[in-house]
Amino acid sequence: MLIIEGGEPMSRAVGSASPRIPKRFWQDEKWAFDHYPALLKRYEDRWVAVVNRRVVAASKSSVKAEEQAKAKTGRQSPIAVVFVESGRHVY
């Protein structure tokens, strides 16, 4: 279940078992992946928060990137937050 700020569950589409995630979230996430090479040059090994198809915050912490994005834009969850990985990480 996707939980938004305040611990409330996101609304679900009628008859759907999955939460309704706003279209703007998917557009922002797609934008980040479409622009990944450019993001890598500027935000290597950082989490970036994307709102309205632009980077509004970047941090070594995904939580901080999302908090900064909320503070700057006033948008609540969900915010697209993507890790821009250099490829040097071992998992």
48-64 pLDDT, tens per residue?
Answer: 999 999 999 999 999 99
Measured between alpha carbons, how far is 32 from 80 in angstroms, rounded to an integer?
Answer: 8
For 64-83, the pLDDT digits (tens) are 999 999 999 999 889 999 99
In this predicted structure, what is the pLDDT of residue 89?
63
Distance between the two ends of the chain, CA-based, in angstroms? 26
Task: Return d(Cα 72, Cα 6) in angstroms, integer.
Answer: 19
Token pair in block for residue 57? 């915050």
pTM: 0.75
